[in-house]
Amino acid sequence: MNLGTSGAHRDSILIDADELARLLGEGREDRAPVLVLDATVVLAQPAHDGDYRASSGADAWAGARIPGSRHVDLLTAFTDPAAPYHFAHPSRAATRRELAALGADERTTVVLYDQGSLQWAARVWWVLRDAGVAARVLDGGLPAWTAAGLPVVSSAPDVAGTVRRPSEGDPFPGAAAGDTARPSLWMDKEGVRAVSEGRAAGTLVCALGVPHFEGTTPTRYSRRGRIPGSVSLPAQDFLDGDGRLLTAPDLAARASRLPDGGAGPVVLYCGGGISASLDALALTLAGVDPLVMYDGSLEEWTADPELPLVRGKVTG
């Protein structure tokens, strides 16, 4: 694991509300188009083990949204419907096709936000990043937008004409050309098992809160606990009291607490690859490299009765 310069590429990854408002307010016909996507999903807290309830955030978006934005439902969009777990990432080509269908191409500035947790916006950012498509995340989400005194729309949505159609041909030729050389940002179950058992180098990091890490609270999945050998780095600890990402020095300070896993990657997981995406965003900003995500996370891991879990506090 390498810990690079804190705040690397922060301005190219994050965007604040005022800058987004300026981009949306520019009226020049020759300007690069802007596509703003709300990725909110409503994920209920489990009342008991195995209590998995997820629903679309489309109603929340329709009730209060950034003018001109679109909603993408991650229950069905930017996911692989054939996978045995929720929110599985699609292929790189499928990701780009979905984005192109929303009107984007390589000229488009893609901005992602959610209703305030940042994890849903971060999830789409990570999926697009793996597909070679740059995107920016609205720091603080919709609450930051409204706190800046900027308008929201709450009438019935009308998406017609809100984005430009991509040009003919491959809308992302550069990204497609780089697929062969660009390393994957994902790790499968067998890869994680090898790291957990010490047969491969790497650092396993759980992005869930401490009660879930220790197995002391109900889980959405079939069994409680954490993957053996993993350390705790809760995603919400990377946010300040206003729901914005911490400053670059604070992100770097938290990243520096990670144990050295040797030459292997930092492998992020959570329940279903969502909180882990916020960890991925924060650690990328802190300069941690390489980073990969266990996409199946605990939903897949706990479904296999042969795979071990650890419960209780970490000692030592």
The pLDDT of 12-41, averaged and rounded, is 89
Q: Does the pLDDT value for residue 49 go beyond 50?
A: yes
Q: Does the pLDDT value for residue 165 go beyond 70?
A: no
pLDDT tens column, 216-244:
999 999 999 999 999 999 999 999 999 99
The pLDDT of 264-293, averaged and rounded, is 97
Residue 155 confidence (pLDDT)? 73
Rounded to two decimals, the pTM is 0.94
The pLDDT mean for the chain works out to 92
Residue 164 confidence (pLDDT)? 54
Which whole-number Å values give the CA distances from 138 to 148, 180, 194, in the listed order? Answer: 12, 30, 36
Q: Whats the size of the chain, residue-wise?
A: 316
The pLDDT of 196-200, averaged and rounded, is 97
Q: How far apart are CA 179 and CA 175, in angstroms?
A: 7
Three-state DSSP state, 21: helix
Across the chain, which distance is largest between two alpha carbons, in Å?
Answer: 61
The pLDDT of 192-208, averaged and rounded, is 97
Helix, strand, coil share of the chain (percent; to 5): 30, 15, 55
